[in-house]
Amino acid sequence: MITIADTKGGSTKSTTAVNIAAFIAHAGLKTLLLDFDLEQPTACSYFPLQKEAPYGVYEFLIMHETDLDKLISATTTQIVTLP
């Protein structure tokens, strides 16, 4: 698990996380990228999606949604995301 956090917006958290996830996926490992930015989640926008989840982090944290099929989006790479 790798965590990238900062309270300041525009500090390249998402870009850094996406690049690390892409590097790990390129190495052949299935990768889960969690985007916990509730105001402006952008991690999913970096990859073409095969399946877009109808729910995201808000529903997971606040509404206690546990159905992973509703929470996790699949990309055309080895990366799956929780928007």
Q: Compute the mean pLDDT over every residue in the chain, rounded to the nearest whole number.
A: 89
Is residue 70 a contact partner of residue 55, using CB atoms and an 8 Å limit?
yes
Does residue 19 register a pLDDT over 90?
yes
Global pTM value: 0.81
| pLDDT score for 7 | 85
Residue type, 29: L
| pLDDT score for 41 | 83
CA 15 to chain centre: 11
| pLDDT score for 83 | 75
| pLDDT score for 36 | 87
| pLDDT score for 28 | 92
Which two three-digit tokens encode residue 35?
């985007």
> What is the percent of the chain with per-residue pLDDT over 70, rounded to a whole number?
100
